[in-house]
Amino acid sequence: MIDKQETINCKVTTKLDHKLKREDISFPHKCMYDTEALSRIMSEIGFECHAAKPFESNIPNIKIIELPDRTEQAVIIEAQKV
């Protein structure tokens, strides 16, 4: 079981277990997860989830909400609390 504090502090070991510090990235990301790790964490905290492709969603009109350039090389997980 994953420790809640560990999840909050983003100390989860994944395939990306090293910190990326690049000056050319200006997004305020505090954590990075691969699909496998994010799915495992979501399942452990009570979500039913699956990997999804860009614009593949149960959210109506997702193409209006999401921007195409934000889906490139993105980890996309569709989840619902069970």
Span 2-51, pLDDT tens digits: 544 444 445 444 444 444 455 555 566 667 788 999 999 999 999 999 99
- Looking at the structure of the chain, the number of domains it has is 1
The answer to whether position 13 is within a domain reads: yes
In a domain, 23, yes or no: no
pTM: 0.60
Give mean pLDDT, residues 55-75.
Answer: 89
H/E run at residue 41: helix 35-44
SS3 52: coil
Check residue 23 and give its pLDDT. Answer: 54
In a domain, 24, yes or no: no
The number of C-alpha atoms within 13 Å of 52 and in the hemisphere containing its C-beta is 15
Range of the domain at 63: 4-17+29-81
